[in-house]
A = this chain, B = another copy of it.
Amino acid sequence: MKLTALLIAIEVGGTVAFATSGLIEAMRKRMDVVGVFSVAFVSAFGGGTVRDLLLDRRPLFWVEHEAYLWLVFAMVITAPWWLKAALRDAGSRLMDGADAFGLGLFAISGTSIAVAAGMSPGVSVLMGATTAIVGGVARDVLCNEVPKVYQDHRPYALCAVAGSLAFLGLGELGLGSELASLAGIAVATGSRLLAIAFDWQLPGWRLPQK
């Protein structure tokens, strides 16, 4: 019961963080209210929607939990009032933290939904990463940018993969699925926060010169 409440709180936080990233990006592109709403929506729900489409899972998670739709709707409508304060007072630290929690939760929820749908471990880890990053990729494609998560060189998707592997490994070792979920989220979110704090860099890959 308490655990469920905790997971819901993390999910709300992650959804808010992902939607906010879309909202800010859309405003930077001087989009109108339709663009801002669309990009915020795609950022928050794109990853889970693609996961549900690939797994042929209905109802889609935002049809099942329609409250999330209305949450993002309310966020966009009220953005002129809270966005300035959020940007000034909290800088990007609050956003980075919420985003890291969203990353962990979305990765583990994607992985465990794929396992429940009978997918192999490899495909399940891929579904976890898909759930975590596709929203941001779609946001950047709609804003006509190369996806940041592909060029950032700070581990992001790899943290999702690490969390998913921890979740699957601990489950294999006999840990209950709730504890394994928490541990997986901790690994994904924790490694992401460490990557930000210590500015870990992935090696760049260059095309060999002929």
Contact = CB atoms under 8 A, between A and B. Distances in A.
Given A66-B123, A126-B69, A207-B83, A150 B35 contact: yes
A133 B49 CA distance: 18
Given A142-B137, A147-B142, A70 B205 contact: no
Most-contacted residue by chain B among A33, A88, A144, A202 (CB, 10 A): A33
Contact of A146 (B58, B87, B144): B144
Interface in A94-148: 119-120, 122-123, 126, 133, 137, 141-147
Interface residues of A, number: 60
Contacts of A35: 147, 149-151
A5 interface: no
- Report the copy number of this chain in the oligomer: 3
Contacts of A36: 205
A204 interface: yes
Interface in A41-81: 49, 53-54, 56, 58, 60, 63, 66, 69-70, 79-80
